[in-house]
Structure 1
C-alpha cells in the first residue's frame, strides 16, 4: 500500500502535469500574457510554485536556512523568460528530486523542527511540510485557472478527486 506522503506527492505532480498539458493546448502567448491578478502572468505564477517547491524540498532535505536563502533568487530567475516547455522540464526535475527524497525517507511522519528567521521555530513532521507543498500548489493552480479565464480560456480540473478517479480507472499517474 502506498504511503499517504507518496500519494500526496503523486497528486501534486499529476496536477501540475494536468496544468502543463492544458497550457500546451493554448496559444503560446497565453503563458506570458500580462493580466491583472495575484501574479502578472501565468508564467510568473508557475515560477512562484517552482520557487517554493525548491525551497520546501530543501527544508525537507535538512538544508540549513543559510544555504537555502541565497538560492531563492537563483530559483526565481530559473523560470524567468523561459518557454512553457522549459518550465515544465524544471518542474519535472524538482518532482524527480522529491520522489528520490521520499524513497530515501523511511518514516515520512518523522518529527522535525524548522526555523524561520521571522516567525521562529516550528515543531512539525516531514509529512506536514510535504502536505503544505501540495496545498500551496493547489492554491496557486487555482490562481492560474482564474488568470486563464481572464484571458478567455477555460481552466483544467486538477482537484484531488479527479486524481483519485483517474487512478481508480487505471490511468497511470506520475
Structure 2
C-alpha cells in the first residue's frame, strides 16, 4: 500500500510541475491532463491483497470513487468550455462594447452609429448562429418592431 501511495504522490507532483511549465498551448496541457488521469486511474488504493474484512476497505473505496469523479468532472468541465475559449480567442485583439436594453430601445441603431465613426475596413459585423461566429458585411438591421433577436456584434 505504501508503494501505491508514493506512486500516487509522484503522479500528483508530476502533474503539478508539468502544469506550471506548460506554455506551449492547450494541446500540450490536454496531453498532460490525460496522462495524469490515466496514471491515477491505473492506481487503485483498493488492492486484492487488502483483506476484505479490513475496516479501512470502505474508506479506500470512497477515496477511489471520489478521485475518479473529480478527474472525470474536471475533464468534462474543460471540454465543455471549449466553445467559450474559441469565442474568446476570436476577440483577443478587439475592443468589445456590450449594449443591453429593452426591445426597441435602439441598440442596433446605436451600434450602427458607433460603427459609422470608424473607417469601414476597421469594422466587422457578426452574429452568433448555433454557437458559431458568422461574419457579415451588412450593418445591424433596424426597425420599429423587434428586428434582431440574436446576439450580434
TM above 0.5, yes or no, is no
Structure having the larger proportion of residues in helix: 1
Question: TM-score when scaled to structure 2?
Answer: 0.30
Look at both structures and tell me which one has the larger radius of gyration over its CA atoms: 2
